[in-house]
């Protein structure tokens, strides 16, 4: 029986229309299968699907299933690796291919067994993949395409050298896809790894034209400043949470995340935390609790600001500003995704107002002042729209292969 095409599998996820840049990138890559790819695209723009279309086209030209890895996707964090795995795995299964997830913080042996039984695609964090390559536990000599995803985040976390070493285990003839929101700073060291004249596609970051607003504010995803006082902050946040559905509250430190999650739970709401001090199992449990509806509030540090894809998040709250102001855009991009409505709220004390406005101007963010009452009213409307959307249900095609219908 012929496996369904990648286009058929993608359509079963509910995606029937692709962005122009996704189509352009795919066609350029098809026309030049020996060229590297440079994709500069901000958070929320659909870059994951863009590079997946390219690598699955490349995979179709690879050897038979269950051989040594043909495709490698490198992501900066365990959460992003797990998220990429969730997107890639059903598409791969639909084509009779296997995926191995290699990540730090969990046992080696199960990952070694997955590689040993044959894995056509590998999704990995750089530290674990480099370790296994150095020990001779992973053979990358048959790789035809490697994706360096969230390259700017990899650089921020100091993984440029690790990625460079990993590329040394991969044939020089393999296609490299470098995907990044920005190409500044240490990312340029990775740019030097690309062959001359790569296919280069840039997603326009203009607020009026960019898909989903890219965390900068649109009509469907307004950004509002709301004045608060220390004395009223807990009560005011509670009003927002009561009006919203799925919510992410961003703070600066893990201690603040634990403290605020505790208060939110004490007030009778269901909250979980996500920060760097949690184990892999605890992080996965927090994300699963949000996806399954066991919790409605995620209190997170900037660990969750990039790449985390929780569907139908109605509200992002900037409770505490990040040390890196560019994280504002990435944080905000967690709502208003896939064409759905959302709201971004900045809770500010009076003395923080001027600095917040100046930051927005530097980032090109469209934001307005609003009263708490107005935000609560609008949130009620947004939440009602999101709840009216039919929830995701599994779809099982022939031969027990699993993909999805209805969205991500």
Residue length of the chain: 408
| Six token digits for residue 46 | 């659909």
Res 209: pLDDT = 35
The DSSP output letter for 145 is E
CA–CA separation, 395 and 391 (whole Å): 13
| Six token digits for residue 327 | 């994280």
Res 205: pLDDT = 45
pLDDT, tens digit (0-9, with 9 covering 90-100), for 253-272: 999 999 999 999 999 999 99
Rg of the chain over CA atoms, in angstroms?
21
Res 393: pLDDT = 34
CA–CA separation, 208 and 222 (whole Å): 13
Res 1: pLDDT = 45
Do the beta carbons of residue 195 and residue 37 sit within 8 Å? no
The DSSP output letter for 295 is -
**H runs (alpha helix) in 125-175:** 126-134, 151-156, 160-167
Provide CB contacts within 8 A for 18, sequence distance 6+: 46, 49, 53
Res 394: pLDDT = 33
Res 13: pLDDT = 66
Residues of the chain with pLDDT under 70: 1-3, 11-17, 42-44, 63, 204-214, 307, 309, 338-339, 389-408
Query: How many other CB atoms are there within 10 angstroms of residue 111's CB atom?
Result: 21
Res 390: pLDDT = 43
Res 299: pLDDT = 97
Do the beta carbons of residue 272 and residue 246 sit within 8 Å? no
pTM for this prediction: 0.62
Res 168: pLDDT = 95
């Amino acid at each position: 029986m012929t496996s369904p095409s990648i286009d058929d599998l993608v359509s079963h996820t509910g995606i029937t229309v692709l962005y122009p840049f996704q189509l352009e990138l795919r066609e350029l890559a098809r026309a030049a299968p020996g060229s590297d790819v440079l994709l500069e695209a901000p958070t929320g723009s659909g870059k994951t699907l863009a590079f997946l279309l390219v690598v699955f086209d490349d995979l179709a030209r690879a050897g038979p299933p269950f051989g040594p890895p043909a495709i490698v996707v490198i992501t900066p964090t365990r959460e992003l690796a797990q998220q990429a795995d969730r997107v890639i795995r059903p598409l791969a299964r639909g084509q009779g291919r296997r995926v191995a997830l290699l990540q730090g913080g969990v046992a080696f042996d199960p990952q070694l067994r997955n590689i040993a039984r044959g894995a056509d695609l590998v999704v990995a964090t750089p530290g674990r993949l480099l370790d296994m390559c150095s020990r001779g536990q992973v053979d990358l000599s048959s790789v035809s395409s490697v994706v360096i995803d969230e390259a700017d985040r990899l650089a921020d976390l100091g993984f440029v050298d690790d990625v460079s070493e990993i590329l040394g285990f991969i044939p020089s003839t393999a296609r490299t896809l470098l995907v990044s929101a920005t190409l500044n700073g240490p990312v340029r060291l990775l740019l030097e790894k690309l062959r001359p004249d790569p296919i280069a596609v840039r997603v326009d970051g203009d607020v009026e034209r960019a898909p989903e607003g890219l965390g900068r504010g649109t009509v469907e995803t307004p950004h509002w400043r709301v004045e608060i006082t220390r004395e009223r902050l807990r009560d005011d946040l509670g009003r927002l949470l009561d009006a919203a559905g799925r919510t992410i509250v961003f703070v600066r430190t893990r201690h603040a995340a634990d403290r605020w999650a505790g208060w939110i739970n004490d007030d009778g709401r269901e909250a979980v935390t996500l920060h760097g001090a949690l184990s892999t199992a605890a992080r996965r449990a927090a994300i699963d609790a949000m996806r399954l509806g066991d919790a409605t509030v995620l209190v997170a540090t900037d660990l969750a600001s990039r790449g985390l894809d929780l569907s139908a998040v109605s509200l992002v709250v900037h409770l505490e500003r990040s040390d890196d102001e560019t994280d504002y855009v990435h944080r905000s991009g967690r709502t208003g995704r896939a064409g759905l409505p959302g709201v971004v709220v900045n809770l500010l004390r009076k003395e923080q107002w001027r600095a917040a406005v100046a930051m927005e101007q530097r980032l090109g963010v469209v934001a307005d002042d609003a009263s708490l009452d107005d935000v609560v009213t609008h949130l009620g409307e947004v939440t009602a729209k999101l709840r009216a959307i039919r929830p995701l249900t599994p779809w099982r095609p022939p031969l027990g292969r699993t993909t999805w219908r209805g969205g991500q």
